[in-house]
Structure 1
């Protein structure tokens, strides 16, 4: 069978191919390193924001897969740079002849598979952030008052830090705090009639107020922050509760976190796409360089033209040959039978 996609490579094109592969390999190593940084940064962000993301959300699988794909791309780039540079020297290339085939196989199967999987996850998993943040933030608001409950002691501190750092309030706005009891029971006076009336008026026995925690206030505003009686139009005559002039963060944390995490995943997806393209070019170039040098006995400046190709025959025949060769290699060689002894010759009677 004829080789698949053959290319005739004279001396100068072979040298230019090796030099171009050296540059592309270093670009691939750089792209793999940047992919590692992007995926690591996203993983750290998810570690900090894990409290506000539902445990069932599959989004953390994206940076974990991208981290492995970036490591494989970095290794492929470094290996390709070493092989392409060694191919320009006939004395340095022989040790690489046995390394190129495993490098091409690992880069294609493991590296290409991980990059393709990570690219697919960047298209699918960001959609799960919406529901994951909805459930996580809802639980965070509900546990804000549980400062003495094991497992939720840090919920108040984490929610306050989130609202102050990301300039947000509530899940979708400051009115979300009106529907949860965010004041701890230890600060409620059971002898106060107003407290008793509010608890008894709620079906679930919660103490609900039309106020927000201090972390919802914008400290850069010149006006004093309004935290309580926000729905009473007569409590603050100089402020209209229907207008955004309460000096509170206008955006909800769901919108802010969704945009932040989707932006990071979009950046990571762009890096994965560039890395995937560079890895495909490097692997193709290494294959053509390998097959071209094999035809010259590993000497790049050998006399005459040589031919580079992807497969020596059709893909089906190549796989079949590799399978048969693997089976033959594992089949034990038959033991050699000892030579049969010649039967003794009868002594002939001597002629008289």
Structure 2
């Protein structure tokens, strides 16, 4: 039965393979460290932006999986470097012969599986950010006025910091503030006729105005900030009527946050992709080196040319052997045969005689 993907390895090729795997191991450790740093940075960013995401969003699972995958890849790189270095000396390689096989299996199943899962999440999850940000930003804007409500006291400060930090206004633009009450009720005079008329002008009984919070103002604008009566051109005769938001942030926070998080996840996906390729290459190289050294009794400088392979025989033969072993295990042995028929034959023999 032929081995799967055999590769003949002479002495010089074995030494170069071991040296190359040592360098590849540290390259994997470096990319795994970058994956850990990228995952931690994304996790911190999501912790800061969590008030503007729907609580049912699955996107926070990405950095957590990336951290686990980075830790597994880092361990694979460090252990792989030790195994590759020890393989250059038969005496130092002897303790590795018993643990290298389980390490390769664990690195392939656990380490490779985690990196592949994190890479898949980095490519798939950003597609769900649109709906999560739409709902989360809408909730945050509706709680902007609740400065005295327990559990929502920080909503105003967080929204102001978001708009100033990302240079955005509203969900998709400054006009989104026209549809929510963002002025706290504590600043409204219930006896003022204008306030009463404004509240009664909509079915929901909200105090809606055509104005925006101060955090929508661009501090670098040469004009004074126009926060109120933005839909009335007559209220601002000196401003450009066709561009009422010259001194406001022109872009909405939905697009800015989406671009920001997609950029972070894209960078993480690139790092995870390189990590996955390096990890697969390292595990394959270690497998070839392990099987080649097993043919020489663990000595890399053994005489002659040996052969490395992935599996000792083909997949068909391995499955057939496993099925045969299973059938043999289910078939009763000679000692398990029924013992009732033998006494009957012995009783019938004297009668025939």
Contact 1:244 1:250 in 2 (8 A): no
Tell me the distance in 2 between the aligned counterparts of 1:284 and 1:159: 50
Q: TM-score, with normalisation over the residues of structure 2?
A: 0.89
Tell me the distance in 1 between the aligned counterparts of 2:207 and 2:69: 50
User: Is 1:134 the counterpart of 2:134 in the alignment?
Assistant: yes
Residues 130 and 2 of structure 1: is their aligned pair in 2 closer, same or farther, counting only changes over 3 Å?
same
User: Is 1:46 the counterpart of 2:77 in the alignment?
Assistant: no
Structure 2 match to 1:91: 91
Residues 163 and 47 of structure 1: is their aligned pair in 2 closer, same or farther, counting only changes over 3 Å?
same
Structure 2 match to 1:169: 169
Contact 1:311 1:318 in 2 (8 A): no
Q: Name the SS of the counterpart of 1:138 in structure 2.
A: helix
Number of residue pairs the alignment of both structures matches: 329
Q: TM-score, with normalisation over the residues of structure 1?
A: 0.90
Q: Which structure features the higher share of helix residues? A: 2
1:95-129: per-residue Cα shift (whole Å, max 9, x none)?
11122112111111011111221222122111100
Tell me the distance in 2 between the aligned counterparts of 1:42 and 1:257: 13
Q: Name the SS of the counterpart of 2:126 in structure 1.
A: helix
- Where do 5+ consecutive residues of structure 2 fail to align? 329-353
Contact 1:11 1:302 in 2 (8 A): yes
User: Is 1:77 the counterpart of 2:77 in the alignment?
Assistant: yes
Structure 2 match to 1:120: 120
Structure 2 match to 1:30: 30
1:137-168: per-residue Cα shift (whole Å, max 9, x none)?
00000000011112211100100010011100
Contact 2:15 2:300 in 1 (8 A): yes
Q: Name the SS of the counterpart of 2:233 in structure 1.
A: coil
Structure 1 match to 2:295: 295
Contact 2:230 2:244 in 1 (8 A): no
RMSD of Structure 2 on Structure 1 (CA): 1.9
Structure 1 match to 2:62: 62
C-alpha deviation, 1:326, in angstroms: 11
Residues 257 and 274 of structure 1: is their aligned pair in 2 closer, same or farther, counting only changes over 3 Å?
same
User: Is 1:274 the counterpart of 2:263 in the alignment?
Assistant: no
Structure 1 match to 2:214: 214
Contact 2:35 2:67 in 1 (8 A): yes
C-alpha deviation, 1:317, in angstroms: 3.8
Q: Name the SS of the counterpart of 1:181 in structure 2.
A: coil
Structure 2 match to 1:18: 18
Q: Name the SS of the counterpart of 1:8 in structure 2.
A: strand
Q: Name the SS of the counterpart of 2:82 in structure 1.
A: helix
Tell me the distance in 1 between the aligned counterparts of 2:26 and 2:241: 59
Structure 1 consecutive aligned stretches of length 4 or more whose deviation exceeds 2 Å: 315-328
Structure 1 match to 2:147: 147
Contact 2:73 2:279 in 1 (8 A): yes
C-alpha deviation, 1:242, in angstroms: 2.6
Structure 1 match to 2:256: 256
Contact 1:292 1:308 in 2 (8 A): yes
Structure 2 match to 1:187: 187
- Where do 5+ consecutive residues of structure 1 fail to align? 329-352
1:297-343: per-residue Cα shift (whole Å, max 9, x none)?
11101111111000011134446767999999xxxxxxxxxxxxxxx
Residues 180 and 222 of structure 1: is their aligned pair in 2 closer, same or farther, counting only changes over 3 Å?
same
